[in-house]
Amino acid sequence: MTSEVSRRGMLGLGVGATLAIPAMTRAQRPLPPHREQDSVGVAVVGLGKLSEGQILPALKRTKGVHLAALVSGVPEKAKKWATEFGLPDSAIYSYQNFDTIARDPKVQIVYIVLPNAMHADFTVRSFKAGKHVLCEKPMAVTLAEGERMIAAGKAAQKHLMIAYRCLFEPVNVSAMQMMRKGVVGAPRLIKTVMGKQTSLSDPSDAWRLDMAMSGGGALADMGIYGINATRYLLGEEPTEVRAWARTDRNDPRFKTVEDMVAWQMKFPSGAIGEGSSCFSQPGTMAWQAIGTERRLVADPGCFYNGNAVRIVGGKDDDQPRVAEIDHFGNEMNWFADVVRGRAPNVAPGEEGLQDMRIIHAILQSVRDGGATVKTGFGYKRAYDPATVVGIRTAI
């Protein structure tokens, strides 16, 4: 792979660079004031928009995890970031020599930030190299790939976590907790709307508009947020889905993927989940939870920052007051704690596979003209994020 492929193309975040001391070797350099003594080293694979705009800036402020290596198809870009972080040239890897990372003891975690079709290959290679893996979502393109990733992690006895950042983000964690406490009454309906405008001229959009690379267009890229949110807000798994699509095949963006997909999910409690994803609308990542007594409304609810949740039908002094936090820093710190045995893995490969199964069921229903597709896959979360993830106010 000779050119870099962008992973995300939304909001950016700039943070000041960490200081390096050129006169000292890397081993001799004192730890930055913010870093814990047993901070875990991470290699970031892929230097696209998400890595450059969110992940690398977050790694300048994290306490439990730090940047130890970079993997890129663009040497100049990797060199720039290595210099900024004070990393030696030996900490830069290409996609071709990636497997030699097995000999790098400074790297304990590999964070895969590549197009979806590349996730499975690099996850398996990372496990073979003896590393733990944090992988962007959706975890893969096919169910077989997802299952192969999980099996590889178990064989290597290493952790696999899927990067569901909202499971560690205060607005969504507080909403889960309110749902469990019955703030809305008995849950009746969860509505999610996820979408943005795309352009084939933007490399970060182009691969998402390719079914072979993305595995599902807007549904896989944006809809997965709504599917996951519906599940974690209700604390249940759907038993069946129905779905429909509206796509203009004359639009060059939608030759292989659907544009707008809308779906309904039925849950054991009787609650209904309604969601939509779209690649031809203004940027939207919103949800609301409607119960017998009140509503929770988050608009936006899943952006990189600026999210907020309010109770409709509640008193002013009942409104949640949640501080802003760096989603990616908190997520990476959590996984570092998982690796060190200090925290449970609330987003293992099985969690990613569950969403993939639902995505595939939705696409099956679309192909069958909105027919009901059963989704009783037998999955049950090992840990409820509402219970085990605290609401942190800083990285």
- In CATH, what number is assigned to the domain containing residue 254? 3.30.360.10
- Which residues are 92's β-sheet partners? 70
Cβ atoms of 357 and 377 within 8 Å: the answer is yes
pLDDT higher than 60, residue 21? no
Query: Does residue 11 form part of some domain?
Result: no
Query: Does residue 309 form part of some domain?
Result: yes
Catalytic residue among 137, 158, 191, 196: 137
pLDDT higher than 50, residue 27? no
CB 72: neighbour CB atoms within 10 A? 25
Query: Does residue 337 form part of some domain?
Result: no
Query: Does residue 361 form part of some domain?
Result: yes
Catalytic residue among 93, 111, 164, 225: 225
pLDDT tens profile 61-103? 999 999 999 999 999 999 999 999 999 999 999 999 999 999 9
Examine residue 105 and say whether the peptide bond preceding it is cis (omega within 30 degrees of 0).
Answer: no
pLDDT tens profile 212-232? 999 999 999 999 999 999 999
Structure tokens at 174: 């507080």
DSSP codes of every residue in 49-71: HHIIIIIHHHTTT-SSEEEEEEE
What pLDDT score was predicted for residue 384?
Answer: 97
Query: Does residue 393 form part of some domain?
Result: no
304 is catalytic: no
Report d(CA 141, CA 137) in Å as an integer. 10
What is the crossing angle of helices 224-234 and 170-180, to 10°?
40
pLDDT higher than 70, residue 117? yes
24 pLDDT tier (thresholds 50, 70, 90): very low
∠ Cα 172 177 178 (to 5°):
95
Write down the mean pLDDT value for the chain. 91
Domain that holds residue 216: 168-313+349-388
Among 85-99, 131-145, 318-332, 338-352, the range scoring the smallest mean pLDDT is: 318-332
CB 88: neighbour CB atoms within 10 A? 11
383 is catalytic: no
pLDDT higher than 50, residue 388? yes
Q: How many domains does the chain have?
A: 1
Share of the chain above pLDDT 90, in %: 86
Query: Does residue 260 form part of some domain?
Result: yes
Query: Does residue 107 form part of some domain?
Result: no
Query: Does residue 52 form part of some domain?
Result: no
